[in-house]
Amino acid sequence: MKSAITVSLVPEARGGPFVFWDDLPAACRTAREIGYDAIELFPPSADAVRPAELRKLLDGEGLRLAAVGTGAGWVKHRLHLAQPDESARSQARDFIRSIIDFAGPFGAPAIIGSMQGRSGEGVSKDEARNALGDALNQLAEHAKQFGVPLIYEPLNRYETDQFNRVADAVSWLEDSKIENVRLLCDLFHMNIEETDVAAALRDAGNHVGHVHFVDSNRRPVGHGHLDVGRAIAALRDIGYDGYLSAEAFPYPDPESAARQTMNAYRDFTTHRV
């Protein structure tokens, strides 16, 4: 398993669960000093960072790009995939497609979290899910040219009514025959929704494509009450070799959060084999 840490460049997401903020070069420098393998980027749009500049930064620090979030489509542009209006849905898909095109050449997948939307405003739960399924089909197909999957993240009930539990998302992907989509298992959301976080990860098997590594209260691992050791043991059992990515509040401050998460990552992935 590899380590990653989140960097947000989106002022509208302030207060959200991202460790580093605003200054991408400084974030990369600190991430490298602490020993991270990669960053996970949360940009305001696909043209916010020039690819050549990002390439230079990453290469200079010996970092990889783990994944790129699409949530600014919602928090900044107020778009999501299940909106009542087809032209808004289509703009939401275009936004995600542009992030896939940005991330793909780095070998990084795009993440669909808050962009999945929800039912409401005259859209039934079934219609919302169908809209999500259509979008995942199209966008996952688009991602294939870069040899990356599309990453879909079940969220807790207060953020979406699409999928809250990993097993429900797995069954739906399988039943709907949606290909090239893998799941983002966010330990914060799972702690709210799952009966047993470790068992849910084990059952999801090779559907797990990315992990948000965070504690029960969304603080860095070690500041909450989640049994992270059991979760990591389950990931080891299923042969997960992707990222454990720190998507947590910058508590008590970004650098301490980054160091705390790295200590936990090393402790759980190296010492407790």
The binding site for Mn ion (CB under 5 A) comprises 186, 212, 247
If the CB atoms of residues 63 and 155 are measured against ligand LER, the closer one turns out to be 155
If the CB atoms of residues 142 and 212 are measured against ligand LER, the closer one turns out to be 212
Task: Decide which of Mn ion, ligand LER, none touches 69; Cβ closer than 5 to 8 Å per partner kind.
Answer: ligand LER
Q: What's the rounded Cα separation, in Å, for the pair 185 and 209?
A: 8
Task: Decide which of Mn ion, ligand LER, none touches 132; Cβ closer than 5 to 8 Å per partner kind.
Answer: none
Q: Is 247 a catalytic residue?
A: yes
Q: Is 86 a catalytic residue?
A: no
User: Residue 67 in contact with residue 103, Cβ under 8 Å?
Assistant: yes
Which pair of tokens denotes residue 258?
């980054």
Instruction: Measure CA 199 to chain center.
Output: 20
Q: What's the rounded Cα separation, in Å, for the pair 22 and 93?
A: 25
| Amino acid (one-letter) located at 254 | P
The binding site for ligand LER (CB under 6 A) comprises: 69, 71, 113-114, 153, 155, 159, 186, 212, 247
Residues in the chain: 273
| Strand locations in 103-258 (E) | 110-112, 150-152, 181-186, 208-212, 243-246
Minimum distance from residue 227 beta carbon to ligand LER (Å) = 20
Minimum distance from residue 7 beta carbon to ligand LER (Å) = 13
Minimum distance from residue 126 beta carbon to Mn ion (Å) = 25
Name the residues annotated as catalytic: 153, 247
